[in-house]
């Protein structure tokens, strides 16, 4: 019948149209033909993000990056770098390039070699899903759980700031154990990119054979930072959060205060040493004793926020209890003032 | 029904409630003369969705019913709004000509439009498939089927709940039907964001549905489609055909085959990843999403296929490489590339036109578009044949430019029809039908025809001053002066 043939024609035209579309954009944006095989490698040279690249204004240039992932040697890449440095873009471009390659399209890179991927998982920490009534952290964990239950040897796993949705210690611990799981679980060894601003995770490289540290480079010039957006080998020490705050236009007084607090914290806890107690390498190393971290670690590290000052002074305990028992919602402004004056009295005693 | 008793019933309202009782969960657009009317709760809902006036209709002295309506020609504007608001809309037409019938005109529902089953042009995005999905929870596996009635594409799949969930997020159907009684399981797997409709359990019978599919495809088994033995998938697919009957979509000859979506052929991309990679929308914005940025397709069906390729990348290296070979050929052979581009740009949405032909809704302009497209397909086929690329050869062998269809359209229909509705005329070409040509000549050249008659009669009767005139009482008449009355033939009537 004519109808059936017409549908066949439509399909053939659609196929040609799609392939022509691949060719057009490949010429337009200078894409390359990827090679594919059954290995468990991904090797990209001068890879770009197809969407960000297209949306850039004239004169701006997308910084291409090289990346190699290999289930047998460079299985888990831990990518540290400050916020806004382009970690997320790097993760996504890798996934998109794999996807494009397996659609049969050319890809935004100068050279690409891809061992077939059968599942792509991406998870972003603390994505907003409040409307559904689940806490952001719960969502993050639900999503992550579904990866860990479904990974295959040919999977590509991209984790972006997993653990961000909870307190620092919780976050680091969860991120840490997820990396260990992805690295050690049976012989699955899925290719994994893990972007995080917890530079503590860099210690994993010494413990896990196929974990490699990378960072997105940043230059600090006169207290401001310049994003170079280049992926380089090795970890980072700073997360440059305060610099980003400065760039965002936070009042100078807050930036100065934050800088002071950061310095204090680094003195108390030691820079880059808030590693979980499960880390043997951390345990081996002789660290400055820091009671607060120690107790946190021994109590299983559940939901301990960084405390600003130590509470063992009975006066402070009294004040704390007073504040704790407050029901702010039922306070009138007058009562609040009275309470404040009471607290002041306790402090002056 | 409770509503029925509330109102005093006129014959018209009785007819209304009888039809409404068949489609209680749909808004019933009830054709009355030149208007589509809605009554009662439907009217309240319709008036608020469409922003039209809600009035009351008195039915006897004591009671009244809410009423909201719009002129019938506005249906193309209002129907999509109702459907987009997530409503099912039953269109009830007058099935008889009111002029020829005494008393109440017979009425019936001619189409039930739902978010997943629609052929209305205004509801279709060119580059987007509108899938209706069906899910069947079998003993061991879960079956699913997807149909785009506007293109005739029909898919079947089977697997665990997770796989079906993944397919649903890849193809994002506008509506999903499933068994009544499985609400809890359905919601726990697929969430509550889908538009769903529950069908009775008996709709999901394997043997009945197997036969339904065979009848639809005109085959005695389903072996030819490679889906034999997919019990749960077939059960789900048959339910889709049942649902089409249920929604009064009976012209479905364009659903000619079903293809299988095999888990082992495609890359697994779950819904979080589709969202995180911003494949089809980026924070609700479709412009800067991946599919839109890389889309350089020229035809609507190319655009739709591209979306599917993005959602379902493949695993087979040979297949990937054969696609790459074509891309390389297009890049290397600029001459071929230019021809292909030119011809493809001239091809319209022949896939949807095919469906509109089957559902007897095709318009004259669509047919002309089909003709022009087939010309382009012909040149395209020749261009593909002339290359050295093996894959393109295979593709070109599949193409048949349907010269006979094309010539028939070229012969029968004006290249630029005056109207897009055949009733309004100016569609069928000259020389196709002698009677039509004759009538047209009269309509267009009335004066000449009258002149010719006047001359003919003047010569026949020998009355030189004979005239043909017109007035509102008699219409056209022949005027003869008194002096010549003797020459008037007997067959003429004197007024």
Last residue of a domain, one of A227, A249, A271: A249
Give me the residue spans of the domains in chain B.
Answer: 2-113, 124-271, 316-432, 445-487
The answer to whether the CB atoms of B273 and A117 lie below 8 A apart is no
Q: Nearest Cα to A199, choosing from A240, A247, A143, A157?
A: A240
Q: Which of B301, B353, B372 to mutate to test the interface with A (most CBs of A within 10 A)?
A: B301
The answer to whether the CB atoms of A26 and B344 lie below 8 A apart is no
Question: CA-based angle A6:B80:B367, to the nearest 5?
Answer: 25
Q: Residue A271: pLDDT above 60?
A: no
Average pLDDT value for residue range A145-171: 78
A197 and A335 in a single domain? The answer is: no
Q: How many CB atoms lie within 10 A of CB A66?
A: 14
CA-based nearest residue in chain B for residue A52: B288
A192 and A46 in a single domain? The answer is: yes
- Is the Cβ of B357 closer than 8 Å to some Cβ of chain A? yes
Q: Residue A347: pLDDT above 80?
A: no
A207 part of a folded domain:
yes
Query: From the CA of A54, how many Å to the nearest CA of chain B?
Result: 7
Q: φ and ψ at A337, to 5 degrees?
A: -60, -45
The answer to whether the CB atoms of A51 and B405 lie below 8 A apart is no
Sheet with strand A119-124: strands edge to edge: A224-233, A211-221, A76-80, A191-196, A155-160, A119-124, B268-269
Distance CA B474, CA B470 (A): 7
pLDDT band at A166 (very low <50, low <70, confident <90, very high): low
For residues A325 and A98, the model is more confident at A98
Alpha carbon B215 to its chain centroid, in Å, reads 22
pLDDT band at A107 (very low <50, low <70, confident <90, very high): very high
pLDDT at B440: 83
Residues of A in contact with B267 (CB under 8 A): 99, 102, 117-120
Q: Out of A7, A13, A19, name the one closest to residue B347 (CB).
A: A13
Average pLDDT value for residue range A207-225: 72
A20 and A49 in a single domain? The answer is: no
pLDDT at B469: 86
Q: Out of A23, A92, A105, name the one closest to residue B337 (CB).
A: A23
A293 Cβ contact partners less than 8 Å away, ≥ 6 residues apart: A269, A274
- Structure tokens that stand for B305 in this block: 């296929």
DSSP 8-state assignment for residue A125: T
Q: φ and ψ at B388, to 5 degrees?
A: -95, 0
Q: Out of A5, A99, A119, name the one closest to residue B402 (CB).
A: A5
pLDDT at A306: 41
**Same fold yes or no, B2-113 and B124-271:** no
B114 Cβ contact partners less than 8 Å away, ≥ 6 residues apart: B26, B83, B88, B89, B132, B175, B197, B247
- Is the Cβ of B105 closer than 8 Å to some Cβ of chain A? no
What CATH architecture is B445-487?
Orthogonal Bundle (1.10)
Q: Out of A92, A100, A116, name the one closest to residue B315 (CB).
A: A116
Last residue of a domain, one of A249, A277, A302: A249
A198 and A335 in a single domain? The answer is: no
- Is the Cβ of B278 closer than 8 Å to some Cβ of chain A? yes
A263 part of a folded domain:
no
Distance CA A5, CA B456 (A): 54
The answer to whether the CB atoms of A2 and B152 lie below 8 A apart is no
A152 contacts B351 by C-beta, under 8 angstroms: no
- Is the Cβ of B304 closer than 8 Å to some Cβ of chain A? yes
Bridge partners, residue A212, by sequence: A77
Q: Out of A12, A101, A124, name the one closest to residue B395 (CB).
A: A12
A198 and A181 in a single domain? The answer is: yes
Q: Residue A274: pLDDT above 50?
A: no
Bridge partners, residue B56, by sequence: B66
Residues of B in contact with A87 (CB under 8 A): none
Q: Nearest Cα to B131, choosing from B143, B122, B118?
A: B118
Bridge partners, residue B107, by sequence: B94
Pairing of strands A76-80, A211-221: parallel
Alpha carbon B317 to its chain centroid, in Å, reads 37
A43 and A9 in a single domain? The answer is: no
Half-sphere exposure of B115 (CA within 13 A, CB side): 15
Please report which helix (H) or strand (E) contains residue B110, including its range.
strand B107-113
Q: Out of B303, B323, B331, name the one closest to residue A27 (CB).
A: B331
A265 part of a folded domain:
no
Residues lower than pLDDT 70 in chain B: 1-9, 58-63, 120-125, 284
B403 contacts B380 by C-beta, under 8 angstroms: no
Distance CA B348, CA B365 (A): 11
Q: If you classify domain B124-271 with CATH, what class do you get? A: alpha beta
Sign, CA torsion B39/B44/B47/B52: positive
ipTM score assigned to the predicted complex: 0.79
Q: Nearest Cα to A229, choosing from A213, A218, A240, A214?
A: A218
Count of positions (residues) in chain B: 495
A103 contacts A34 by C-beta, under 8 angstroms: no
The answer to whether the CB atoms of B306 and A21 lie below 8 A apart is yes
Sign, CA torsion A277/A281/A283/A285: negative
Residues of B in contact with A118 (CB under 8 A): 267-268, 315
Q: Nearest Cα to A232, choosing from A67, A73, A95?
A: A67
Q: φ and ψ at B419, to 5 degrees?
A: -125, 155
Radius of gyration of chain B (CA): 30
Q: Residue A170: pLDDT above 80?
A: no
pLDDT at A311: 55
Which residue has 């629609």 as its token pair?
A: B118
pLDDT at A105: 93
A65 contacts A231 by C-beta, under 8 angstroms: yes
pLDDT at A228: 66
Q: How many A×B Cβ pairs under 8 Å?
A: 213
* Lowest mean pLDDT across A96-105, A166-175, B430-439: A166-175
Query: From the CA of A8, how many Å to the nearest CA of chain B?
Result: 7
pLDDT at A19: 94
pLDDT band at A284 (very low <50, low <70, confident <90, very high): very low
Q: If you classify domain B316-432 with CATH, what class do you get? A: mainly alpha
A177 and A318 in a single domain? The answer is: no
Last residue of a domain, one of A249, A271, A302: A249
A290 part of a folded domain:
no
**pLDDT tens for each residue of A124-135:** 765 444 444 456
- Is the Cβ of B294 closer than 8 Å to some Cβ of chain A? yes
Distances (CA, A) of A257 to A274, B101, B239: 22, 89, 66
A70 and A201 in a single domain? The answer is: yes
- Structure tokens that stand for A188 in this block: 């699955």
Pairing of strands B132-137, A76-80: unpaired
Q: φ and ψ at B147, to 5 degrees?
A: -130, 135
**pLDDT tens for each residue of A7-56:** 999 999 999 999 999 999 999 888 999 999 998 999 999 888 888 888 88
Number of domains in chain A: 3
Residues of B in contact with A5 (CB under 8 A): 400, 402
Q: Out of B282, B289, B298, name the one closest to residue A17 (CB).
A: B298
The answer to whether the CB atoms of B269 and A119 lie below 8 A apart is yes
A102 and A117 in a single domain? The answer is: yes
Q: Domain of A16?
A: 1-30
Query: From the CA of B241, how many Å to the nearest CA of chain A?
Result: 18
A218 Cβ contact partners less than 8 Å away, ≥ 6 residues apart: A81, A82, A85, A225, A226, A227, A228, A236, A240
Residues of B in contact with A2 (CB under 8 A): 402, 405
**pLDDT tens for each residue of B41-56:** 888 888 888 888 888 7
What is B2-113's CATH number, 3.10.180.10, 3.40.50.720, 3.40.1170.10, 3.40.30.10?
3.40.1170.10
A140 and A155 in a single domain? The answer is: yes
pLDDT at A275: 41
Average pLDDT value for residue range A278-306: 39
Residues of A in contact with B401 (CB under 8 A): 9
- Structure tokens that stand for B84 in this block: 């987009």
Q: Residue A90: pLDDT above 50?
A: yes
A199 and A335 in a single domain? The answer is: no
Q: Which of A1, A4, A5, A7 to mutate to test the interface with B (most CBs of B within 10 A)?
A: A7
pLDDT at B321: 93
- Is the Cβ of B383 closer than 8 Å to some Cβ of chain A? no
A140 and A19 in a single domain? The answer is: no
Under DSSP, is residue A230 helix (H, G, I), strand (E, B) or coil?
Answer: strand
Query: From the CA of B189, how many Å to the nearest CA of chain A?
Result: 13
């Amino acid at each position: 019948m004519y109808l059936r043939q017409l549908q066949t024609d439509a399909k053939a035209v659609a196929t040609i149209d799609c392939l022509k579309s691949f060719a057009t954009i490949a010429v337009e944006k200078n894409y390359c033909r990827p090679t594919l095989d059954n290995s468990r490698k991904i090797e990209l040279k001068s890879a770009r993000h197809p969407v960000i690249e297209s949306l850039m204004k004239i004169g701006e240039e997308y910084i291409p990056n090289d990346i190699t992932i290999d289930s047998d040697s460079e299985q888990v890449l831990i990518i540290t770098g400050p916020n806004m440095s382009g970690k997320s873009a790097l993760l996504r471009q890798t996934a998109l390039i794999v996807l494009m390659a397996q659609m049969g399209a050319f890809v935004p890179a100068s050279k690409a070699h891809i061992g077939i991927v059968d599942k792509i998982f991406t998870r972003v920490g603390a994505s907003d899903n409040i409307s559904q009534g689940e806490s952001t952290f719960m969502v993050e964990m639900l999503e992550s759980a579904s990866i860990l239950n479904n990974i295959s040897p040919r999977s590509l796993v991209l984790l972006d700031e997993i653990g961000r949705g909870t307190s620092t210690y919780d976050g680091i611990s969860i991120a840490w154990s997820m990396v260990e799981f992805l690295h050690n679980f049976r012989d699955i060894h899925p290719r994994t990119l893990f972007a995080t601003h917890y530079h503590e995770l860099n210690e994993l490289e010494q413990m896990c054979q196929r974990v490699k540290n990378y960072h997105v480079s940043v230059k600090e010039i006169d207290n401001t930072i310049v994003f170079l957006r280049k992926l380089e080998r090795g970890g980072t020490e700073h997360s440059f959060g305060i610099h980003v705050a400065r760039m965002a236009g936070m009042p100078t007084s807050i930036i100065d205060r934050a800088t002071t607090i950061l310095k204090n914290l680094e003195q108390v806890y030691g820079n880059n040493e808030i590693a979980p107690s499960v880390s043997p390498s951390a345990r081996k190393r002789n660290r400055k004793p820091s009671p607060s971290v120690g107790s946190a670690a021994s109590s299983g590290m559940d939901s301990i926020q960084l405390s600003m000052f130590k509470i063992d002074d009975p006066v402070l305990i009294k004040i704390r209890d007073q504040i704790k028992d407050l029901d702010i919602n039922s306070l009138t402004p007058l009562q609040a003032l009275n309470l404040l004056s009471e607290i002041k009295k306790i402090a002056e005693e | 029904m409770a509503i029925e008793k509330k109102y005093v019933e006129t014959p018209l309202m009785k007819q209304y409630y009888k039809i409404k009782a068949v489609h209680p969960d749909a808004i019933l657009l009830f054709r009355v003369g030149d208007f589509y009317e809605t009554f009662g709760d439907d009217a309240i809902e319709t008036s608020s969705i469409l922003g039209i006036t809600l009035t009351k209709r008195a039915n006897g002295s004591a009671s009244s019913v809410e009423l909201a309506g719009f002129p019938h020609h506005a249906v193309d504007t209002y129907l999509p709004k109702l459907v987009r608001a997530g409503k099912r809309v039953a269109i009830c037409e007058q099935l008889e000509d009111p002029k020829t019938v005494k008393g109440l005109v017979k009425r019936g529902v001619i189409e039930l439009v739902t978010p997943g089953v629609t052929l209305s042009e205004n509801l279709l995005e060119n580059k987007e498939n509108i899938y209706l999905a069906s899910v069947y929870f079998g003993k061991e596996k879960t079956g699913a089927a997807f149909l785009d009635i506007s293109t005739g594409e029909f898919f079947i799949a089977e697997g665990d709940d997770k796989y079906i969930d993944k397919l649903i997020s890849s193809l994002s159907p506008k509506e999903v039907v499933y068994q009544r009684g499985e609400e809890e399981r359905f919601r726990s797997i697929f969430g509550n964001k889908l538009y769903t409709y529950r069908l009775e359990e008996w709709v999901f019978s394997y043997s009945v549905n197997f036969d339904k599919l065979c009848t639809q495809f005109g085959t005695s088994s389903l072996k030819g489609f490679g889906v034999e033995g997919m019990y749960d998938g077939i059960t789900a697919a048959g339910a889709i055909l049942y649902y089409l009957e249920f929604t009064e979509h009976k012209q479905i000859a364009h659903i000619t085959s079903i293809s299988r979506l095999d888990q082992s052929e495609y890359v697994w991309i779950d819904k979080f990843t589709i969202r995180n990679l911003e494949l089809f929308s980026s924070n609700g914005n479709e412009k800067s999403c991946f599919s839109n940025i890389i889309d350089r397709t020229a035809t609507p069906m190319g655009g739709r296929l591209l979306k599917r390729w993005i959602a379902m990348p493949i695993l087979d290296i040979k297949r990937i490489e054969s696609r790459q070979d074509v891309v390389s050929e297009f890049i290397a052979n600029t001459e071929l590339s230019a021809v292909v581009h030119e011809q493809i740009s001239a091809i319209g949405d022949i896939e949807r036109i095919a469906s509109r032909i089957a559902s007897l809704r095709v318009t004259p302009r669509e047919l002309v578009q089909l003709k022009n497209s087939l010309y382009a397909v012909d040149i395209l086929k020749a261009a593909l044949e002339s290359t050295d690329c093996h894959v393109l050869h295979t593709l070109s062998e599949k193409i048949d430019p349907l010269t006979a269809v094309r010539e028939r359209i070229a012969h029968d229909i004006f290249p630029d029809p005056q109207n897009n509705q055949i009733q309004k005329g100016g569609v069928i070409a000259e020389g196709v039908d002698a009677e039509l040509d004759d009538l047209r000549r009269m309509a267009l050249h009335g004066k000449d025809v009258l002149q010719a008659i006047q001359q003919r009669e003047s010569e026949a009767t020998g009355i030189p001053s004979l005239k043909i005139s017109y007035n509102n009482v008699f219409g056209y008449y022949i005027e003869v002066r008194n002096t010549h009355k003797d020459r008037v033939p007997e067959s003429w009537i004197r007024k």
